Amino acid sequence: MDGGGFLSDEYKDDKLIESDEIVIGSRFLTRYERSRIVGARALQVAMGAPILIRVGEEAKDPIKIATIELKARVLPLSVMRRLPDGRYQNIPVRKLLDAEYVEQIPVDFKLDDLEN
């Protein structure tokens, strides 16, 4: 095995889905994934990890800092989504949309457009 910790081709997991697109689940973070990511990052910040973006002097709460970093899409974390048959996909957080902020995006169509 090499010193970088990466698996060589012979050791790769055959259940890992490698794709640039999101194959498992929706393109949104679930509320459970969101809370897990914010909690994990807040713990890292509380334990002295460097903050990845500039925050004001008033932002000293690790949860608030982690939420701001998630919104800015700078977290180097991934979400592992699994299927019942054992296959899974690792999806970088920056590729997933946070539904809380997506709801604020204006919609350009009317309900009448859906009926046609």
Q: What is the DSSP string of the chain?
A: --TT-PPPGGG--TTB---SS--SS-SEE-HHHHHHHHHHHHHHHHTTPPPSS---TT---HHHHHHHHHHHT----EEEEE-TTS-EEEEEGGGSEEHHHHTTSPP---HHHHH-
Does the residue 113 lie in any domain?
A: no
Name the residue with higher pLDDT: 112 or 96.
96
pTM over 0.75: no
Tens digits of residue pLDDT in 81-93: 998 998 899 999 8
pLDDT of residue 110: 53
pLDDT of residue 96: 85
pLDDT of residue 2: 45
Domain extent for 97:
24-103
Number of domains the chain is built from: 1
Does the residue 50 lie in any domain?
A: yes
Name the residue with higher pLDDT: 103 or 52.
52
Does the residue 8 lie in any domain?
A: no
Residue 108 has pLDDT above 60, yes or no: no
